[in-house]
Amino acid sequence: MRKGIQNLENSENKNYKIIAVDDEEGIIDSLSIFLKRSGYNFTGVTNPQEAIERVQKEHFDLMILDFIMTPFHGDQVVEEIRKFNKELYILLLTGHKDLAPPLETIRKLDIQGYCEKSDKFDQLLLLIESGIKSIAQMHEIKKINEELKNTNEMLEKAYLESIETLRYTVEAKDTYTKGHSDRVSAYSVLIGKSVGLSENDLKILQIGGLFHDIGKIGVPDSILLKESKLTDDEYSEIKNHPSIGAHILSTATIFQDIIPIVKHHHEKYDGTGYPSRLKGDDIPYLARITAIADSFDAMTSKRTYRDCLPLDTVIAEFKRCKRNPI
Q: Lowest-confidence range among 27-41, 44-58, 193-207, 304-318?
A: 304-318
Q: Are 48 and 72 in contact (CB under 8 A)?
A: yes
Do 34 and 58 form a contact (C-beta atoms < 8 A)?
no
Q: What is the pLDDT of residue 206?
A: 93
89 vs 238: CA distance, rounded Å: 64
Instruction: Tell me the mean pLDDT in the region 21-36.
Output: 90
**May I ask the CATH class of domain 2-138?**
alpha beta
SS3 content of the chain, % helix, strand, coil (to 5): 65, 10, 30
- The alpha carbon of residue 20 and the mean position of all alpha carbons in its chain are separated, in whole angstroms, by 36
* Active site (catalytic) residues: 216
**Does residue 267 register a pLDDT over 70?**
yes
Question: pLDDT tens across 99-114, in order?
Answer: 666 677 777 778 888 7
> DSSP code of 46?
S
CB 263, CB 247: distance < 8 Å: no
Structural contact between residues 89 and 62, judged by C-beta atoms closer than 8 angstroms: yes
Instruction: Tell me the average pLDDT across 163-172.
Output: 71
pLDDT at 136: 86
CATH topology of domain 169-321: Hypothetical protein af1432 (1.10.3210)
Write the CA distances from 309 to 289, 295, 301, integer angstroms.
Answer: 21, 12, 7
131-164 pLDDT per residue, tens: 888 888 888 878 887 887 778 778 777 777 776 7
CB 261 within 8 A of CB 204: yes
Please, what sign has the CA dihedral across residues 7, 10, 14, 20? negative
The domain limits of the chain are 2-138, 169-321
Residue 100, SS3 per DSSP: coil
Cα-to-chain-centroid distance, residue 293:
27
Following DSSP, what letter does each residue of 156-190 receive, concatenated?
HHHHHHHHHHHHHHHHHH-HHHHHHHHHHHHHHHH
Greatest mean pLDDT among 2-16, 78-92, 224-238 lies in: 78-92
**pTM of the predicted protein model:** 0.55
